[in-house]
Structure 1
Amino acid sequence: MQPPEEPVMDVAHLGHVELLTPRPEESLRFFVEVMGMTESGRKGDSVYLRGWDDYERHSLQLTASRSSGLGHAAFRTRSPQALERRLAALRAAGNDVEPHEGELGHGTGWRFRDPDGHLFELYYETEWYEAPPALRPALKNQAQRFPGRGINVRRLDHFNCLAVDVRACRRFFESTLGFRCTERIELDSGEEAGMWLTATNKSYDFAFTKEAHGVPGRFHHVTFALDSREAILQAADIFLEHGVHIETGPHKHAVQQTFFLYVYEPGGNRVELANAGARLVLAPDWRTITWTEEERRKGQAWGLKTIESFHTHGTPPLPPNHD
């Protein structure tokens, strides 16, 4: 029997996600007052935000734009050498990789696109968050004081892109960046309808699911972690008090077993809350779990049927002549 290939562990974690919003002031109020995030800087058309336990300066870049959607998603590598190895692998596979300078909070970001057209970034040099006196925590191993405002999201957890060809995107991230696929969905036709990838012992750092309209480059949601299921139930009440429409949940996914709650921020992007540390993948030889079309028809873990908008809503909005 052939020994398994040595795993590539050059990507350390998901660093930040940029959301585009046509309603920047309302989106900012949502993330600060309702979600409980902390503003950590401004530059150009962007405001930079963080959860109270994110160690870097920011985990969310909120950028004013004519439309909604994903600006880019960024991963930090484990070392400068790891960054060079991944850039070399991207170039060897025929991908264009361009430097992006002058971003707040980190050094040179190297940007590239996946097969569906989403923009991604790799970087290593970063700015660790230094809390001002009013936000310094009592515990020195905590990034900042618990804000005690709104939902109090702890940290960025993952994101989900939509893709026309999910399998092509999975193979791209596996072969160039070394991500591992922990779970996936395969339809009766053989088409791949969903995949969940990790660079760490988390069960997933991001996911791709099938784009229902054949339009590339669209975004499904970004997810922030809370400490417990109870915190997510409390978040549902806070959304109710602020008049925020709850799309679906609280409930439990069958895939990855995440306890979830979904809403839309004012710019139109979907936002999920999830329980932190729901599952860890400790096995170095983890075998990918594949869900069938019949299994997925059963809905979520406790029988809740997946709401139709979960398959149809994405950002940016569909172009004309699509429904």
Structure 2
Amino acid sequence: MQSEAFRDIAHVGSVELFTSVPEETRDFFVDLMAMKEVHREGDSIYLHSWDDYERYTVKVTGADRAGVGRTFLRAASSQALRRRVEAVERAGFGAGWSESEFGLGPVYLFTDPDGHQMGLYYETERYVATPEHRPSLKNQASAFPGRGANVRRLDHVNYLAADVPAASGFMSGVLGARPTEQIVTDDGEIAAIWYSVCNKSYDLVYTSDWRGARGRLHHVAFATDTREDILRAADVFLEAGIHIETGPHKHAIQQTFFLYVWEPGGNRIELCNAGARLILAPDWEVITWTQAERAKGQAWGLKTIDSFHTHGTPVIE
């Protein structure tokens, strides 16, 4: 049964990625993923995917190593924001308010139990297309780019965690997200768990970090309109010399059609298409996958590549 706090968070708004080669990472998103640069500030470059109603989708920040920075979560209302902030403060993970985030109103900063940085907000600036990017259809944010992967929006973030049960308890008990699927080991431990904050099948994921480290990233995913977009993107990445890690193929868990690549800074990026799969049942029962079931590989038999279990950012030598 879903928490009473479910839907206090409307959606995942944007995500910050750290990279030691910010201009190359910027070019990856702009030239190959079809995003648009909308702002620069300090060491950060702000990029917008073509149908994102907010000012930006990805914040690329120069750093000495790759990884995930802050994930921004938009509350459903000012009252919902207040409720979730109070819950985070009671849990002891709050870091206070910031009023300096580009494109956003007041943001409440906090971390999850694993140390991943997050921010809650409600007030936001809407993206306004420039004349050359004004759409013909007034119900989309910007003109369809017609290049590269044509990613429409941010889809989900998959974190690595040293203690998945602790992170999971925070996600459901404090933020009000609901679990939809999970992997449970033969010892009864939760090895990975998928959370939804809306009717999408998942938005935030925790996967056990095989190195036992805290605060690392497994991947960030962006949604395409069709599977064919992903197939074309594979050719685009091939010609550009981008490392294709695995796919295109279909996941068994969540049934997502996927392609995984590494952007120039080393962060794993997924292009995904989940089709029409939504979670509509208010009393959804969590789907549990066993080790034996996972060992069978993906939906159509592709075995999971070894690096999928050994690569995360920041890289631990």
**Aligned partner of residue 177 in structure 1, secondary structure:** coil
Cα separation, partners in 2 of 1:68 and 1:299, compared to 1, 3 Å: same
**Aligned partner of residue 134 in structure 1, secondary structure:** helix
Query: Please, which of 5, 27, 30 is the counterpart of residue 29 of structure 1?
Result: 27
Runs of 4+ in 1 over 6 A off after TM superposition: none
Name the counterpart of 1:60.
58
Name the counterpart of 1:17.
15
Name the counterpart of 2:211.
213
Give 1:168 deviation, angstroms. Answer: 1.1
Aligned residues: 317
Name the counterpart of 1:118.
116
1:95 & 1:218 partners in 2: Cα distance? 18
Bigger shift: residues 16-25 or 34-43: 34-43
Name the counterpart of 1:305.
303
Q: What residue ranges of structure 2 are gaps of 5+ in the alignment? A: none
Name the counterpart of 1:146.
144
Deviations 1:115-158 (A, max 9, x none): 11111110001000000111000010010001122221111111
Cα separation, partners in 2 of 1:116 and 1:195, compared to 1, 3 Å: same
Q: Does 1:89 align with 2:96?
A: no
1:181 & 1:163 partners in 2: Cα distance? 16
Give 1:277 deviation, angstroms. Answer: 4.2
2:47 & 2:276 partners in 1: Cα distance? 24
Cα separation, partners in 2 of 1:263 and 1:4, compared to 1, 3 Å: closer
Task: State the AA in 2 paired with 1:244.
Answer: I
8 A contact 2:5–2:175 mirrored in 1: no
Give 1:276 deviation, angstroms. Answer: 5.0
2:155 & 2:2 partners in 1: Cα distance? 29
Deviations 1:87-106 (A, max 9, x none): 11111222233112211111
Name the counterpart of 2:235.
237
TM-score w.r.t. structure 2 length? Answer: 0.97
Name the counterpart of 2:267.
269
Deviations 1:61-102 (A, max 9, x none): 000111110011110001111100001111122223311221
Q: Does 1:160 align with 2:129?
A: no
Task: State the AA in 2 paired with 1:141.
Answer: N
Give 1:206 deviation, angstroms. Answer: 1.3
Give 1:278 deviation, angstroms. Answer: 4.4
8 A contact 2:158–2:205 mirrored in 1: yes
TM-score w.r.t. structure 1 length? Answer: 0.96
Task: State the AA in 2 paired with 1:179.
Answer: A
Give 1:4 deviation, angstroms. Answer: 7.5
Task: State the AA in 2 paired with 1:148.
Answer: G
Task: State the AA in 2 paired with 1:9.
Answer: R
